[in-house]
Amino acid sequence: MLVQQILKSKAKTGILIVKSDAKVSEAAKVLAENRIGSVVVSDDDGATAVGILSERDIVRELARVGASCMEQPVSAYMTSKLVTCTSQTSAEEVLTTMTEGRFRHIPVVENGKLTGLVTIGDVVKAQLSQLAMEKQALEGMIMGH
């Protein structure tokens, strides 16, 4: 299964973004309101990604410096060395990358342009769906249908 198939199966389309100069508190509000774990940081309305900010990034800074981090710009705490994939990346490769990198979100980039965001939940859901279809097919073959 490829990332492009995973993106097509997602219930919500579009990418939620914040600008790098937005306050961390603004990013936290976007995360909370949308019940998501990370937000892509883009200064050109989502055409390109300059970083990603996750709940974990915010919690780490809250523990380290306290509530004052909420007034800092997103750029202070975002991950700027992005690990990305393309629509042609396999689900297995994405899972391996996420597991090795210890992160749960990966931006999808085509020709330098941000085209989507895949979460570990998206990949697991797609893999489970594929396994269920394969199971049905095998059962059908065994039963002679």
Global pTM reads: 0.83
HSE, CB side, 13 Å, CA atoms: give it for residue 40.
28
List the alpha helices (DSSP H) in the chain.
3-9, 24-34, 55-65, 91-101, 120-143
Compute and round to an integer the Cα radius of gyration of the chain: 18
What is the structure's pLDDT at 143?
84
Closest among 118, 19, 36 to 78, alpha carbons compared: 19
What is the structure's pLDDT at 79?
95
Tens digits of per-residue pLDDT, 55-111? 999 999 999 999 999 999 999 999 999 999 999 999 999 999 999 999 999 999 999
Query: Residue ranges of the domains in the chain?
Result: 3-143
What is the structure's pLDDT at 145?
65
More confident residue, 110 or 134: 110
The CATH number given to 3-143 is 3.10.580.10
What is the DSSP track for 29-70? HHHHHHT-SEEEE-SSTTSS--EEEEHHHHHHHHHHH-GGGG
Tens digits of per-residue pLDDT, 15-58? 899 999 999 999 999 999 999 999 999 999 888 999 999 999 99
Instruction: Take residue 108 and report the two structure tokens written for it.
Output: 């999808």
CA distance 33 to 121: 19
Tens digits of per-residue pLDDT, 4-16? 999 988 877 678 9
